[in-house]
Structure 1
Amino acid sequence: MLVALVTAGVLAAVPSGGLPDVKAIGAVAEVRDGGHVWRGSSGVAELGTSRPVPVAGRFRAGSITKTFVATVVLQLVGEGRMRLDDPVERWLPGVVPNGENITVRQLLNHTSGLYDYKNTLAMPPNAEFYTYQFRTWTAAEQIQRALAHPPVFDKPGSQFNYSNTNYLLLGEIIEKVTGQTYGEQVERRLIRPLGLHGTTMPGTSTYIRGAHLHGYVPKDGGLVDFTEMNPSLFGAGGELISTTRDLNRFFAALLGGRLLPALLLAEMKTPGTEGGTYGLGLSWHDTSCKVRVYGNDGDALAYQAYSYATEDTRRQVTVAVTPDFRTNPDASVDAFVDRAICR
């Protein structure tokens, strides 16, 4: 039985040997083992209150958005509407320097070499960062900021370099292919068919509807509420809002072969570089018991989310944390995932 320890805002899985003491404002998790489901939460939903974190609460899922966007791209490939080896230039002529030599596949697996627009943005505690909270960004604006910098390496496909710019471009390509925004396509192809009732692609809406965790960022030696914010800052690389239930449901459908043909799911699990652990919008790692888990994690500034499943989808674990920035929750969450999969 998975054990959760809650003390003063600490979420910790408790494997033998214990865990580092990692602080968080709040956390929520769902673990699935066959037909058995465990849900739990710890900490508070909002600072200054005693309100517990709702076990069905919504949160910003960050880069887990990329797996949804990648799935849409691969569905379009499966329908013959585009190809993985199409050059970017075919769909976005004149937008990307050397676009004739950068493929859709290389955008998906982060081997394009394109500079990450995130590196052009101010981050806390820089005062400029706080002006972003309600600002609307366009993908074109962010892409231009990135392309003002040279590529991080010269030969596309030769190296792995994680870049959010890749997924901004994929969002634009989806719109070129389908005539609808990437958000509309994610809603139509994934959210509605799978019954992900707690999941939205909010676009420029600043709110998280329904029960949710409040998220915070550092400011002036303390924390400021950053729950309401314009998610166009993240765009196709990170705007998703979801729940632990919905993310487990999505990855069960994806890895279970319900969303993609077997050949394209295999492509998704193929690393972009030899020995890598990131394929086409999907990442993986091996647990301490040598069981490989597939999924993704996401950093949405005020929220951190993690969702992984075994290849047969029998065991799944999704965790979301609102960090307080005194320590990094990754080690604690990794141990939680390991315990859930290996127990």
Structure 2
Amino acid sequence: MKKSISISLPTIPSIALAYVMVLLSGCALGLRPLPNTVEEQLKDAVDHGMDGVIVCVNRPGEIQLYAAGWKNREDQIPADPNALFKIASISKLYIAAATILLISEEKLSLDQTLGELIPEVEGKIEYANEITLKMMIQHRSGLLDYSFEPEVAGESFVDHLSFAARIYDKPAVFKPNKKYGYSNSNYLLIGEILDRTLGYSHHKYIREEILEPLGLKNTYNVPSEVDMQKVMSGYLKSGGSDLRDLEFPLPGGSMIATAEDVSIFLRALIDGTLFSPDEQAIYTSVYPYEHTGWLPGYTSIARYHSEMDAVVVQFVSTSGKEIYWLRLKSVYKRTIRILKNKTEI
């Protein structure tokens, strides 16, 4: 006699209701009277359930830092605007920049294929001989996102390919270059490609060619480089303990930095400080000058606003389901409105 397995999943009405509730909450936050200052806005965000918030505003010749809430909720340590933070997928901007530098040095080409660069994946990853490095940088490869695939025996944070085995022998999401589809697998494999091209860790290359020339002393490639006590604590919206010590050392999500360092990097990426004109043109053709980040307990936004000539970085030490982003984006948008109002005065 076969046993039946009953899995309790949220019904469509319950999912829809949850979405509507968060949407209404986000709208309510957006419709509240706009405070006069960034400090007031961040305090309001904390009052509405965000554990800690840091904002950095980088204008030419001026960097302003703001913080509200907690650096560590359990010990009641106030938020520190200079605290280190897990920047998650903002890390992809640094890997993209490093890749462009190696292309400029003619050590890589945008047209090289995944199968050419990592022969071991031929026959294991669909379309490996059609997926180009450019497609991977741009998230147009069709690669499955390993984040949503089950673990496999022998996978290791240290060995990129053992971790990439999560997506082996599975159909692609779409044919290469047919559309955009964000996948962390792209940057996991680009990290492996960079290591093979260099003959040493791309972390060392990023430090020597990007971080040190820009004077970014508060930016780290992986958690093992950091005194984790200096890192802001992170929490889930649903509750639970501090997630600060939960390591994530994979390429494209591993970096830790201060908001000020991220703002300096992003401005340098945009204004020609980091790249030659030719390198700038290549970068502009393949990747944006902004990013968001998400890890359990950590959410972040880093963008340039040309109308103010300002890079604005927001760190929030709380994460939730995808629809929680509505609230995070609302806080960011309101902060931008406050800054614009001040600029116009």
Structure 1 residue 2 displacement after superposition? 4.6
Q: How does 1:278-317 map to 2 (within 5 A)?
A: 279-280=286-287, 282=288, 294-310=289-305, 314-317=309-312
Is the counterpart of residue 226 in structure 1 residue 225 in structure 2? Answer: no
Which residue identity lines up with residue 104 of structure 1 in the other structure?
A: L
Is the counterpart of residue 116 in structure 1 residue 137 in structure 2? Answer: no
In structure 1, the gaps of 5 or more residues are: 13-20, 123-134, 271-278, 283-293
Q: For 1:323 and 1:181, how far apart are their aligned partners in 2?
A: 31
Q: For 1:170 and 1:312, how far apart are their aligned partners in 2?
A: 33
Structure 1 residue 182 displacement after superposition? 1.9
Which residue identity lines up with residue 332 of structure 2 in the other structure?
A: V
Question: Closer, same or farther in 2 for the Cα pair 1:136/1:89, shift >3 Å?
Answer: closer
Contact 1:54/1:211 (8 A) holds in 2: no
In structure 2, the gaps of 5 or more residues are: 1-35
SS at match of 1:297: strand
Length-normalised TM-score, structure 2: 0.78
Q: Whose strand fraction is larger, Structure 1's or Structure 2's?
A: 1
Contact 1:255/1:311 (8 A) holds in 2: no
Which residue identity lines up with residue 87 of structure 1 in the other structure?
A: T
Contact 1:317/1:340 (8 A) holds in 2: no
Aligned residue pairs total 296
Question: Closer, same or farther in 2 for the Cα pair 1:249/1:39, shift >3 Å?
Answer: same
Length-normalised TM-score, structure 1: 0.78
Q: For 2:37 and 2:150, how far apart are their aligned partners in 1?
A: 40
Residue number in structure 1 paired with 2:265: 250
Contact 1:4/1:11 (8 A) holds in 2: no
Structure 1 residue 242 displacement after superposition? 0.4
Contact 1:85/1:105 (8 A) holds in 2: yes
Residue number in structure 1 paired with 2:193: 173
Is the counterpart of residue 105 in structure 1 residue 134 in structure 2? Answer: yes
Structure showing greater Rg: 2
Contact 2:38/2:335 (8 A) holds in 1: no
SS at match of 1:258: coil
Residue number in structure 1 paired with 2:63: 37
Of 37, 50, 61, 2:87 maps to: 61
Is the counterpart of residue 50 in structure 1 residue 76 in structure 2? Answer: yes
> CA deviation digits over 1:183-232, x for unaligned, max 9?
121112111221111110126x29544633101236xx631211012223
Is the counterpart of residue 11 in structure 1 residue 45 in structure 2? Answer: yes
Contact 2:263/2:312 (8 A) holds in 1: yes
Of 256, 272, 278, 1:263 maps to: 278
Q: For 2:38 and 2:157, how far apart are their aligned partners in 1?
A: 42
Is the counterpart of residue 185 in structure 1 residue 205 in structure 2? Answer: yes
Contact 1:206/1:229 (8 A) holds in 2: no
Is the counterpart of residue 211 in structure 1 residue 226 in structure 2? Answer: no
Contact 1:59/1:208 (8 A) holds in 2: no
Question: Closer, same or farther in 2 for the Cα pair 1:42/1:165, shift >3 Å?
Answer: same
> CA deviation digits over 1:265-291, x for unaligned, max 9?
233333xxxxxxxx42x3xxxxxxxxx
Structure 1 residue 177 displacement after superposition? 0.8
Q: For 1:66 and 1:185, how far apart are their aligned partners in 2?
A: 14
Residue number in structure 2 paired with 1:289: none
Is the counterpart of residue 71 in structure 1 residue 66 in structure 2? Answer: no
Is the counterpart of residue 143 in structure 1 residue 164 in structure 2? Answer: yes
Which residue identity lines up with residue 305 of structure 1 in the other structure?
A: S
Question: Closer, same or farther in 2 for the Cα pair 1:254/1:162, shift >3 Å?
Answer: same
Q: For 1:144 and 1:334, how far apart are their aligned partners in 2?
A: 39
Which residue identity lines up with residue 88 of structure 1 in the other structure?
A: L
Structure 1 residue 23 displacement after superposition? 2.2
Q: For 1:70 and 1:312, how far apart are their aligned partners in 2?
A: 25
Structure 1 residue 313 displacement after superposition? 8.7
SS at match of 1:299: strand
SS at match of 2:317: strand
SS at match of 2:54: strand
Contact 2:160/2:188 (8 A) holds in 1: yes
Is the counterpart of residue 201 in structure 1 residue 224 in structure 2? Answer: no
Identity of counterpart residues, as a percentage? Answer: 23
Residue number in structure 1 paired with 2:24: none
Q: Whose helix fraction is larger, Structure 1's or Structure 2's?
A: 2
